[in-house]
């Protein structure tokens, strides 16, 4: 060991203190002699269980002496197992100096019998790099003897990077909203204000801070009628200065991180003096372009929730200790892809607001991909959502010969699949199943089928199924689950631009099957 590390052997301020056990107990520490017949138990248990474990595993005795470390320590820190076994106050010399006090206190508590989980800190690699890790520990026994502490440390650097990138995307999105010319107003499920941008605060005659918690009804002379139906409506608001203002108001439901109904986002455009904004807007005037942008903003607000939900599901799955290294790397890849998708959505909104972009967003990059692999990724991401609804999400198996490759704008294609799969899960009853399958049609086109086990779509609703803001859910269902009314409208719009065909069949009481047909010229053979 190098001289620079000689301080590791000196007396450290971070020592472990354990209370003495009862007189009748046998404490196992670095000096205790384990009976010969129990030595085999010690060796078999710890070597078999943890030598090949992906995470960094350690066993410390009740007086804080390290007895065993698995080889993963070298991947985490650059230190070998023999070097770690020789360290005084292991593992503190490997912990960042600013975090040693916290880790020492937690491990001392563990020596007294307390367990812990997912405590984050930093370790220093031998070559100077820093690694974000999370530790779990629990007291252990061998052959009935208290045997100290098992310490398990896992690498969370990718998770921390994903969380940081997600916060950056959210910050960028909020900065766009805060500076928008249109008034943007977020309401909770009871109609109270959670956020207004500067323009909305000006319309309401107050400041954003003073409007926190204010109720929508305060600014309406009469009862709420059709203001929250989604379509743009001309509404009279009375602001806090007592002035009556005329605005064109549109609304979209908000989705919580857990997938439930979280209130509304309202977009308000002040009616120009002596002017009029038609329902469809007019891209030839500033007022018309802003009116069109309100509907686009509703679409973006809806779309951005889907990758956020995917990231949340992947992060939750990454907390599972049973995941293999390849599974963790796959979830890291998915998180990175979803964060990039959020960035593209935000950039698309910026393009829509520019003077030259009009109201038509460009498609994402065209990619060559294997359709079954993409479906497997989406199914994996949506499995936690399906579990919450008591639904089984299943992908029909295919042989290697049946695997098909496509060339499409992958981001938009995934958005279509995500929306339809989410709708199918939410439509299915508890204990039901959603089945996803891929088939090749005569002529070379490809058809994706998503079949749910729900009640089917009422005949009265079928003509409006793809209309923006239209939903078949009742008010009581909206209060307990996600409510959109934009998902299928977005799917139809994206499918038209990609050259795909979306169709469905439904039977009351027997579920619904959505079909996405990809023409043969999108095949990559």
Instruction: List all residues 6 or more positions away from 287 whose beta carbon is below 8 Å from its beta carbon.
Output: 269, 272, 275, 277
Q: Would you state the pLDDT for residue 452?
A: 94
User: How many C-beta neighbours within 10 Å does residue 190 have?
Assistant: 8
Most confident of 122-136, 177-191, 324-338: 122-136
Instruction: Average the pLDDT over 366-389 and give the result.
Output: 87
How many angstroms separate the most distant Cα atoms in the chain? 97
Cβ contact 255:262 at 8 Å: yes
- Out of 206-210, 239-243, 484-488, which region has the weakest mean confidence (pLDDT)? 484-488
More confident residue, 230 or 316: 316
Where does residue 485 rank: exposed (0-12), middle (13-18), buried (19+ CB within 10 A)? buried
Distances (CA, A) of 189 to 165, 305, 473: 29, 17, 16
Q: Would you state the pLDDT for residue 162?
A: 74
Q: Among the residues of 119-196, which ranges form H helices?
A: 157-178
User: How many C-beta neighbours within 10 Å does residue 253 have?
Assistant: 25
Residue whose tokens read 């520990």: 137
Q: Quick one: DSSP state of residue 362?
A: P
* Angle separating helix axes 371-388 and 286-318, nearest 10 degrees: 80
- Out of 113-122, 159-168, 291-300, 333-342, which region has the weakest mean confidence (pLDDT)? 291-300
Where does residue 405 rank: exposed (0-12), middle (13-18), buried (19+ CB within 10 A)? middle
Instruction: List all residues 6 or more positions away from 39 whose beta carbon is below 8 Å from its beta carbon.
Output: none
More confident residue, 128 or 84: 84
Tokens of 215: 């109720």
More confident residue, 57 or 291: 57
More confident residue, 346 or 103: 103
pLDDT class of 170 with cuts at 50, 70, 90:
low
The two domains 160-318 and 367-522 share their CATH topology (first three levels equal): no
Q: Among the residues of 210-324, which ranges form H helices?
A: 286-318
More confident residue, 327 or 41: 327
- Mean of the per-residue pLDDT values for the chain? 75
Whether omega before 91 lies within 30 degrees of 0, making that bond cis, reads yes
Indicate if the pLDDT at residue 191 is higher than 80.
yes
User: How many C-beta neighbours within 10 Å does residue 13 have?
Assistant: 9
Q: Would you state the pLDDT for residue 77?
A: 93
Indicate if the pLDDT at residue 208 is higher than 70.
yes
Tokens of 178: 């805060």
- Out of 358-367, 407-416, 443-452, which region has the weakest mean confidence (pLDDT)? 358-367
Q: Would you state the pLDDT for residue 188?
A: 87
User: How many C-beta neighbours within 10 Å does residue 51 have?
Assistant: 14
- What whole-number distance in Å separates Cα of residue 64 and Cα of residue 58? 11
Q: Would you state the pLDDT for residue 479?
A: 37
Each residue's pLDDT tens digit, 378-433: 888 888 888 888 999 999 987 765 688 899 888 888 888 988 998 899 889 889 99
Backbone angles phi and psi of 54, in degrees to 5? -65, -40
Q: What is the DSSP string of 93-124?
A: GGB-GGGHHHHHHHHHHHHTT--EEEEEEEEE
- What whole-number distance in Å separates Cα of residue 470 and Cα of residue 480? 18
Fold for domain 3-155? Beta-Lactamase (3.30.450)
Each residue's pLDDT tens digit, 29-41: 555 554 545 555 5
Tokens of 48: 């078999």
Cβ contact 111:64 at 8 Å: yes
Tokens of 65: 């002496």
Q: Strand locations in 302-423, DSSP E?
A: 366-370, 392-395, 405-409
- Out of 27-36, 42-51, 104-113, 396-405, which region has the weakest mean confidence (pLDDT)? 27-36
Cβ contact 378:418 at 8 Å: yes
**In percent, how much of the chain has pLDDT > 90?**
19
Cβ contact 247:268 at 8 Å: yes
Instruction: List all residues 6 or more positions away from 474 whose beta carbon is below 8 Å from its beta carbon.
Output: none
- What whole-number distance in Å separates Cα of residue 146 and Cα of residue 168? 47
Instruction: Average the pLDDT over 20-37 and give the result.
Output: 47
Q: Would you state the pLDDT for residue 389?
A: 85
Q: Quick one: DSSP state of residue 396?
A: -
Cβ contact 356:336 at 8 Å: no
Helix, strand, coil shares, percent, the chain, to 5 = 40, 25, 35
Cβ contact 64:31 at 8 Å: no
- Out of 117-121, 191-195, 402-406, 486-490, which region has the weakest mean confidence (pLDDT)? 486-490
Q: Would you state the pLDDT for residue 457?
A: 86
Instruction: Average the pLDDT over 346-355 and give the result.
Output: 47
Q: Would you state the pLDDT for residue 247?
A: 85
Q: Which CATH code of 3.30.565.10, 3.30.980.20, 3.40.50.620, 3.90.1150.10 fits the domain covering 367-522?
A: 3.30.565.10
User: How many C-beta neighbours within 10 Å does residue 504 have?
Assistant: 18
More confident residue, 473 or 14: 473
- What whole-number distance in Å separates Cα of residue 231 and Cα of residue 27? 72
Instruction: Average the pLDDT over 15-30 and give the result.
Output: 43
Indicate if the pLDDT at residue 23 is higher than 70.
no
Each residue's pLDDT tens digit, 464-498: 777 655 566 543 344 333 334 456 777 887 888 88
Cβ contact 172:64 at 8 Å: no
Name the pairing type of β-strands 183-187 and 145-155. Answer: unpaired
Q: Would you state the pLDDT for residue 423?
A: 86
Domain 160-318 in this protein, CATH class:
alpha beta
Question: What's the half-sphere exposure (Cβ side, CA atoms, 13 Å) at 349?
Answer: 26
Where does residue 276 rank: exposed (0-12), middle (13-18), buried (19+ CB within 10 A)? exposed
Instruction: Average the pLDDT over 246-273 and give the result.
Output: 76
- What whole-number distance in Å separates Cα of residue 473 and Cα of residue 410? 30
Q: Strand locations in 129-226, DSSP E?
A: 130-142, 145-155, 183-187, 193-196
Q: Give domain limits for the chain.
A: 3-155, 160-318, 367-522
Q: Strand locations in 90-129, DSSP E?
A: 116-124
Cβ contact 251:244 at 8 Å: no
More confident residue, 388 or 292: 388
């Amino acid at each position: 060991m190098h001289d620079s590390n000689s301080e590791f052997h000196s007396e450290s301020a971070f020592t472990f203190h354990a209370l003495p056990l009862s007189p009748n107990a046998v404490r196992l520490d670095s000096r205790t002699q384990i009976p010969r017949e129990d030595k085999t138990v010690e060796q078999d248990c710890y070597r078999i269980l943890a030598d090949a474990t992906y995470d960094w595993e350690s066993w410390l005795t009740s007086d804080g002496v390290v007895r065993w470390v698995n080889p993963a320590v070298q991947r985490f820190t650059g230190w070998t197992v023999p070097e770690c076994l020789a360290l005084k106050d292991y593992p503190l010399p490997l912990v960042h100096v600013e975090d040693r006090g916290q880790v020492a206190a937690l491990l001392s508590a563990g020596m007294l019998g307390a367990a812990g989980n997912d405590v984050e800190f930093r370790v220093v690699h031998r070559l100077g790099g820093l690694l974000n890790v999370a530790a779990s520990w629990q007291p252990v026994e061998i052959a009935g003897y208290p045997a100290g502490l098992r310490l398990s440390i896992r690498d969370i650097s990718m998770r921390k990077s994903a969380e940081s990138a997600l916060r950056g995307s959210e910050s960028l999105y909020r900065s766009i909203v805060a500076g928008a010319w249109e008034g943007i107003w977020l309401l909770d499920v009871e109609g109270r204000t959670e956020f207004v941008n500067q323009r909305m605060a000006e319309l309401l005659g107050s400041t954003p801070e003073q409007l926190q918690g204010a109720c929508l009804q305060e600014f309406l002379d009469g009862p709420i009628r059709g203001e929250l139906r989604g379509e743009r409506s001309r509404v009279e608001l009375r602001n806090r200065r007592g002035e009556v203002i005329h605005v064109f108001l549109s609304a979209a439901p908000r989705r919580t991180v857990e997938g439930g109904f979280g209130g509304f986002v309202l977009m308000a455009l002040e009616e120009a003096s002596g002017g009029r904004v038609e329902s469809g807007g007019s891209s030839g005037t500033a007022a018309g372009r802003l009116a069109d942008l309100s509907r686009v903003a509703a679409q973006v607000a809806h779309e951005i929730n889907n990758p956020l939900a995917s990231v949340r599901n992947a992060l939750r799955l990454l907390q599972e200790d049973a995941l293999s290294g390849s599974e963790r790397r796959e979830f890291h890849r998915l998180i990175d892809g979803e964060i990039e998708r959020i960035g593209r959505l935000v950039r698309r909104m910026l393009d829509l607001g520019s003077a030259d972009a009009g109201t038509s967003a460009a498609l994402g990059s065209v990619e060559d991909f294997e359709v079954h692999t993409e479906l497997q990724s989406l199914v994996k991401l949506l499995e936690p959502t399906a579990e919450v609804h008591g639904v089984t999400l299943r992908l029909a198996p295919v042989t290697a010969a049946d695997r098909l490759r496509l060339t499409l704008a992958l981001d938009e294609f995934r958005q279509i699949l995500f929306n339809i799969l989410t709708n199918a899960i939410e439509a299915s009853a508890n204990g039901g199943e959603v089945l996803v399958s891929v088939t090749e049609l005569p002529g070379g086109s490809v058809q994706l089928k998503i079949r749910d086990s729900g009640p089917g779509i009422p005949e009265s609703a079928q003509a409006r199924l793809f209309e923006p803001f239209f939903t078949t859910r009742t008010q009581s269902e909206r209060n307990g689950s996600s409510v959109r009314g934009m998902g299928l409208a977005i799917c139809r719009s994206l499918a038209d631009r990609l050259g795909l065909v979306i169709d469905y069949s439904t039977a009351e009481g027997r579920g619904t099957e959505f079909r996405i047909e990809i023409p043969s010229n999108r095949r990559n053979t």
